[in-house]
Amino acid sequence: MSAKGPLHNVVVLRIAVAIAGGALALTCAAAPAPTDDPRAEAAWREAREEMVRSQIEARGIDDERVLTALRRVPRHRFVPANQRDSAYADRPLPIGHGQTISQPYIVALMSDLAKVGPGDSVLEIGTGSGYQAAVLAEMGAKVRSIEIVAPLAERSRALLRELGYEGVEVRTGDGYRGWPEKAPFDAIVVTAAPPGIPEPLKQQLAVGGRLVVPVGTRLQELMVLTRTPEGFREQRVLPVRFVPMTGEAQGAAAE
């Protein structure tokens, strides 16, 4: 993890001043309505720029589509009000219901590994806050996302619509078996860790498609499976820590 430098502190201070001055409405548990105050919006933009510079580019991610998406998506709108001053910090944040929004670097890394292009059909398992779906949509993908926690699905669906991400479709349900009627997918991104890779998700990949998934229980590893004409090619990326994938994934692991 990279240390936070002086510029990060200045950005946080500017945001805190804007909040103290009443520029941002923070009374709602979910994302509040956007502010028209240009000072506050400028502070949030500066926070995103610093996040991309110090957390993403500094760690070697150079895909301009990923970097541009992270600069555009207002991450602070996807976290609860009481976490908003930490929205661009280098760590995951709780979003309620025992779930988290991943740290910015992990969102960037998974987006980079998915190799999403404009017009690609992408399945996300675990909508959560909706932030990862918004990043993928900014990269030009048609995103279908499944969330097992109904209140999170409802909140994310409403927020994504409010922010103009009409290309994201959110379904409430268990994502273990994917979305077969919309398959095949050019990429599948899983944001919760199953004990093993769900076979239904592998079968819903198009040839050439990539499945990005954290796998494991106590010890987890981020993996990429690429479907080839002959089968699947596996890449192990790095150790990670995600919330567990619930529902049928747990039953399948016990079999």
User: What's 36's DSSP letter?
Assistant: -
Q: φ and ψ at 126, to 5 degrees?
A: 100, 75
Query: What SS3 class is residue 108?
Result: helix
Angle of CA points 92, 94, 100, to nearest 5° = 60
Q: Answer yes or no: 102 catalytic.
A: yes
**Which residue's structure tokens are 């993890």?**
1
Q: Residue 239: CA atoms inside 13 Å, Cβ hemisphere, count?
A: 3
User: What's 103's DSSP letter?
Assistant: P
Closest-CA residue to 143 (of 174, 162, 163, 171): 171
Alpha-carbon distance values, 181 to 176, 177, 204 (Å): 14, 11, 9
The one catalytic residue in 102, 111, 129, 156 is 102
Tokens of residue 155, six digits: 């909140």
Tell me the catalytic residues. 102
